Amino acid sequence: MTTSFGALCTDFYINQKLALKMDLPAERETILHMFDRVRADVPQMDRFRRFPEELVLESKRREGQQSWLELSAQAVRTGVLNPSSLEDAHRLHRLILEICPYHLTISPLDVDHLELMLGFDLECKANHNEIVHDALIAGTPLAGLLESPEGKVSDVQPMLGMTLNRECTQHAFFEVKTRTTQGELRRGKYRGEPISVYLTLRQSGPLENVDQLATWFDSLSRLAEQLANEKLVPHLLNPISRAIIGSV
């Protein structure tokens, strides 16, 4: 059983990024020791993959679900695809925030910001940009910019942001990502790639103690769920879903 958010889209995922100011240590023993620590709590994450600029520990994708941890030079990222519950996804993210500062010698001064992203993929076999235009732009003053007797809407990817507190240390960003190519526009034939809708919450410092990262996460996760329910779903996700259905 997926989350209630998962019922609204093709795929739902919750990703986290801890952005740092200095490069992470790259010693073999340090990395493997941390990955073994993660496996002790999440045994299904047993696949270790190495890429030119990142190291990844992940689970196999089973019934559309997957969890992963990625270490790059200046970031620690985690993600959970189609979680059974929000709590399941939060458990992995919180675990990483609790253990990575001690395994990777991350100090409060090193932390730039923490991000939590909720992602919603909507499968769409039509011109993504036209769908988003019809759902969000049509009937507004912005629509006049794209009126053309022969042209096609080729790029509509709105991104809006706002602060969430007086100190301006918490921000929320709403973003729509389309994937229609110029070749598809010319041919008039479209693949079933998804339109993605993102809600990203960002918390910046100052950070007094690395143990405070868990407090940051708890605050962002509560805000993310609230903003998704009150703003993203009614004002972005549902209108785009209706436009996709109307295009069939």
Q: What percent of the chain has pLDDT over 90?
A: 91
What DSSP state is assigned to residue 19?
A: E
pLDDT for 61 beyond 70: yes
- Tokens 């940009």 sit on residue: 129
Domain locations in the chain as residue ranges:
6-247
Q: DSSP for 145-214, please give it.
A: GG--SS--------EEEEE-STTS-EEEEEEEE----HHHHHHT----PEEEEEEEEEEE---S-TTHHH
pLDDT for 12 beyond 90: yes
Q: DSSP for 54-80, please give it.
A: EEEEE---BTTBEEEEEEETTEEEEEE
Of 40-49, 66-75, 91-100, 182-191, the range with the lowest mean pLDDT is: 182-191
Q: What is the mean pLDDT of residues 122-141?
A: 96
Report the C-alpha gap between 81 and 121 in whole angstroms: 11
pLDDT-based confidence at 1, cuts 50/70/90?
very low
Amino acid 154: pLDDT: 93
Buried b (16+ CB within 10 A) or exposed e, 184-206: bbeeeebeebbbbbbbbbbbbee
Q: Which tens digits make up the pLDDT trace of 87-121? A: 999 999 999 999 999 999 999 999 999 999 999 99
Q: What percent of the chain has pLDDT over 70?
A: 99
Amino acid 3: pLDDT: 63
pLDDT for 132 beyond 50: yes
pLDDT-based confidence at 34, cuts 50/70/90?
very high
Element (H, E) at 215: helix 212-227
Amino acid 205: pLDDT: 85
pLDDT-based confidence at 248, cuts 50/70/90?
confident
pLDDT for 195 beyond 70: yes
Q: What one-letter code names the amino acid at 36?
A: D
Global pTM reads: 0.94
Q: What is the mean pLDDT of residues 144-159?
A: 91
Amino acid 188: pLDDT: 87
